Amino acid sequence: MRVIDTGNKEVLAYWREIQEEEILCIFNLSGEEQTVAIDVSGRVDRLGNQFDGKVLRPYASHWLVKREF
What tens digit of pLDDT does each residue of 3-55 get? 988 888 999 999 888 887 888 899 999 999 998 877 666 554 455 555 667 88
> Which residues partner with 34 through β-bridges?
56
Output the pLDDT for position 62.
Answer: 87
User: How far is the CA of 1 from the CAs of 15, 16, 62, in angstroms?
Assistant: 6, 5, 16
0.95 surpassed by pTM: no
CATH topology of domain 2-65: Immunoglobulin-like (2.60.40)
Phi-psi region of 7 (alpha: psi -120 to 50; beta: other; left: phi over 0): left
Output the pLDDT for position 45.
Answer: 47
